Amino acid sequence: MRTNIELNQELIEEIMKLTAISTKKEVVNKALEEYLRKLKLAELADLAGKIEWEGDLDEMRTGRIR
């Protein structure tokens, strides 16, 4: 999808210097991916302690090679 946006050139240049990313498009896509990953991790962290597991570890370990 083609979109025109104004980017902070200093941030783009700094990211390109610190990474192997060579185009502005790659920088923006990577930033979007990382932001989405961060949001998903936060959602996952919010679930900590809220899901009850009803499995049996001893049963799962039966036949397990050590």
Q: Which domain holds residue 19?
A: 9-51
User: Cα separation of 16 and 11, whole Å?
Assistant: 9
pLDDT band of residue 20 (cuts 50, 70, 90) is: very high
Is position 65 within any domain? no
* Predicted confidence (pLDDT) at residue 4 exceeds the cutoff of 90: yes
Is position 35 within any domain? yes
Is position 27 within any domain? yes
* Predicted confidence (pLDDT) at residue 66 exceeds the cutoff of 70: no
Please, what sign has the CA dihedral across residues 27, 29, 30, 34?
positive
Contact 60, 39 (CB under 8 A): no
Contact 24, 14 (CB under 8 A): no
pLDDT digits (tens, 9 = 90+) for 43-61: 999 998 888 888 888 888 8
* Predicted confidence (pLDDT) at residue 18 exceeds the cutoff of 80: yes
Number of domains in the chain: 1
